[in-house]
A and B are shown apart, each in its own frame.
Chain A
Amino acid sequence: MELLSGADMIARFLKDEGVEYIYGYPGGAALHIYDALFRQEDVKHILVRHEQAATHMADGYARASGKPGVVLVTSGPGATNAVTGIATAYMDSIPMVVLCGQVMSSLIGEDAFQETDIVGVTRPIVKHSFSIRHPSDIPTVLKKAFYIASSGRPGPVVVDIPKDMTAPTERYEYSYPRKVRLRSYNPAGRGHTGQIRKAVDLLTSAERPVIFAGGGVITGRASEALTDLAHRLNLPVITSLMGIGAFPQNDPRSLGWPGMHGSYESNMAMHESDLVLGVGVRFDDRVTNNVSKFCPHARIIHIDVDPSSISKTVHADVPIVGAADSVLNEMLNQLGQRQPAEPVSLDDWWAKIDGWRDERRGKLYEPAAPGEPLKPQQVVEAVHRITHGDAYVVTDVGQHQMFAAQYYRFNQPNRWISSSGLGTMGYGFPAAMGIKLSYPDEHVVLFTGEGSFQMMMQELSTCKQFGIPVKIVNLNNASLGMVRQWQDLNYKSRHAHSYMESLPDFEKLIEAYGFRAITVHTPEELDAALEETFRSKDELVFLDVHVDPREHVYPMQVPQGAMCDMLLSKTERT
């Protein structure tokens, strides 16, 4: 046994847990921990320029790697600045451990300098939180925090660390706890065999089945099992926005993603289906539209590791609580054991789906003519081509996010990185940085807009300090595009504060940090600019693409309608 101070235990634990990077910002209550980090070389600390960025970096890393991202902030404002990032991770079930400095335990409750009850502030947006009460508890508490954050349905865990817990003068025995047990926390494993049998019965007898797969398939590493099942039964696969990449989009069985701006064929297919196999999804309101009109003909099988997701918004006829991978494999097993009965033919169903596909083929948008302002959709398609569809694609929030989701095609999990649940503008840039640090040999592309980017653009300085060469594609329409779209549709084009009247000169701004920016206005300039942007993986390039501000995202579900009620363009609707 070694004797270590609380601060040294934290640094040492992070190393023993296999943490390579932590993202953070120092301050009074965290200084003992920062000193401990200074005196070691295994865990690398990335100094952000705002704590919110630290949480988004950790979040991006976690989504790409499947491992928890780790954040270190100080008490008070340091911790409250992290709140948006914690809420973002919570809504999308992303594993994250946030270490917060706190004032000395003797001062807690006295409104001490930089004191905030961060456990209280974050209570509704964490999976769990801890306060350290004795330095010797540090290794066990941290192990519990990592275990809770990354198991079951993942989520953020906050650990509040009063400054006296990390005092360098007091030393305690340290050993790395390999395992922890919590009597009140047992994440679901295998699903109920009988329920799975019922699900298989329904699946093999349905005439118009669809798979609806979500982020749970990605965090549960169940893409392979899902793909096997879809192939075995020739099922159409729809993924939620969070589930993009869980099933390869170049597979003819992929119908894309559904919901508010989902593909025509996926919304039509879900609405017309007689069986929805939901896996690791939460049937959120951006998918279902009006719940009372949701999938009127379908029975619902719902597989989820979190029982509270099942029958929360949509009643599940066959609920199955279990880990996605385990349940899907058990379904495959049971299918394998069955007598090969005459399968229900899905030919008619596929014919119908192909009909929907044909209806919209070539009508999704009109690419810009030479000399005209670019369409954001064609920029995304061009980036897809030049990166061969295998970049890590990160987005901010708004129209560009939807265009990126619609026009970049994903064939693997963990490559589509976007704040889907909370819809956090400013998320994208730091998230992309977190990924690029850990995957330096890959292209990491940020699709952003001038609105979102300005929320976190101070992180250019972090990129400069640590050399983080992300590619930034700014779909610049000089307006808050999604807000503007809603104002066009619902407020007679009264553009209340959706117009960015005083944009910076992005080229000068980027150059001030020592990076290169390229500005593009027309289709003729695009390809050469993209060549230049993606020539190397070692240079941060900011591509400022001026796009048509009048463009809307379509399809767009009609509010309070069924899934199949969509605006298809400015002039067409279903």
Chain B
Amino acid sequence: MRHIISMLLENEPGALSRVVGLFSQRNFNIETLNVAPTDDPTLSRLTVTTNGDERVIEQITKHLNRLIDVVKLVDLTEGAHIERELMLVKVKAQGGAREEVKRTADIFRAHIVDVTPSVYTVQITGDAPKLDAFLQAMAPVGVLEVARTGVSGIARGDKVLSL
């Protein structure tokens, strides 16, 4: 099963490599990875999506918790949560396709953020299936380049991940 594990990490050099290294060292799988500083400059928030049965996920969370640089950790998929990913995608936009791309982008509530005579750059946010669906819709037109941030997520309701 797919899990979204989100953690607060000491904003220290090498902290990220410890997390990533753990996954390869223990033969765990990383599907997406997203990391950036938080409002507290000493902490980064790192979100990883991974696959595994209950036993594997338990091992992943335990081994992550064992890393000294991991301050706090939550498996978002254990409860109601919001997950988002941002994608920038360049698509061919020439002739009739220009209008078609614009229409499809509107349907997906995406934004065209850069324009040339032959290319549109589209920004779209959502969960992973939505982004996948958009790429599929664009395939006939011609997808030139894709940049995805990986999943970021947060729990619904009053629950917060903080110190």
Contact = CB atoms under 8 A, between A and B. Distances in A.
Interface stretch (A181-189, A270-278, A392-400): A181-189
Interface in A4-49: none
Given A123-B21, A183-B163, A131 B13 contact: yes
Given A308-B59, A311-B58, A312-B59, A129 B69 contact: no
A184 B58 contact: no
B68 A148 contact: yes
B13 to A, nearest CB: 7
B27 to A, nearest CB: 12
Interface in A308-325: 308, 310-312
B25 A124 contact: yes
B14 interface: yes
Nearest to A144: B68
A152 to B, nearest CB: 9
A184 B17 contact: no
B10 interface: yes
11 contacts: A119-B14, A120-B17, A123-B17, A124-B25, A127-B68, A128-B68, A131-B14, A184-B68, A307-B66, A308-B59, A311-B55
Contacts of A129: 14
B65 interface: yes
Given A124-B21, A128-B68, A308-B66, A184 B10 contact: yes
Interface string A292-309: 000000000000001110
Contact of B63 (A119, A127, A308): A308
A124 B19 CA distance: 10
Interface string B52-86: 00010011001101101111100000000000000
Contact of A308 (B10, B18, B62): B62
A123 B62 CA distance: 18
B1 to A, nearest CB: 18
A129 B70 CA distance: 14
A128 B10 CA distance: 13
Nearest to A184: B71
Interface in B1-47: 10, 13-14, 17-18, 21, 25
A129, A183, A184, A307: most-surrounded residue (chain B CB, <10 A): A184
B55 to A, nearest CB: 7
The interface size bin for chain A is 10 to 19
Interface of B: 10, 13-14, 17-18, 21, 25, 55, 58-59, 62-63, 65-66, 68-72, 163
A129 B18 CA distance: 10
Nearest to A321: B62
Interface of A: 119-120, 123-124, 127-129, 131, 148, 182-185, 306-308, 310-312
Nearest to B72: A184
Contacts of A185: 68
A184 B70 contact: yes
B15 to A, nearest CB: 10
Nearest to B14: A119
B24 to A, nearest CB: 9
B52 to A, nearest CB: 14
Contacts of B13: 131
Contacts of B66: 306-308
B69 A184 contact: yes
Contacts of B65: 307-308
Contacts of B58: 311
A116 to B, nearest CB: 15
Contacts of B55: 311
A382 to B, nearest CB: 44
A306 B10 CA distance: 21
A548 B104 CA distance: 81
B18 to A, nearest CB: 6
Contacts of A124: 21, 25
A119 B12 CA distance: 13
A284 to B, nearest CB: 15
Nearest to A157: B68
Nearest to B22: A124
Which 4 A-B residue pairings sit nearest by Cβ, starting from the closest? A308-B62, A184-B71, A128-B68, A124-B25
A128 B59 CA distance: 19
Contacts of B18: 123
A127 B63 CA distance: 11
A141 to B, nearest CB: 12
Given A119-B14, A307-B65, A311-B58, 18 more contacts: A123-B17, A123-B18, A123-B21, A124-B21, A127-B68, A129-B14, A148-B68, A182-B68, A183-B163, A184-B68, A184-B70, A184-B71, A185-B68, A306-B66, A307-B62, A307-B66, A308-B59, A311-B55
Contacts of A120: 14, 17
B11 to A, nearest CB: 12
A306 B67 CA distance: 12
Nearest to A153: B66
A306 B66 CA distance: 8
B28 to A, nearest CB: 12
Nearest to A308: B62
Contacts of B21: 123-124
B39 to A, nearest CB: 16
Contact of B71 (A128, A131, A183, A307): A183
A308 B68 CA distance: 14
Nearest to B24: A124
A207 B119 CA distance: 76
Contacts of A128: 68
A127 B68 CA distance: 8
A148 B68 CA distance: 9
A56 to B, nearest CB: 23
A128 B66 CA distance: 10
A124 B72 CA distance: 21
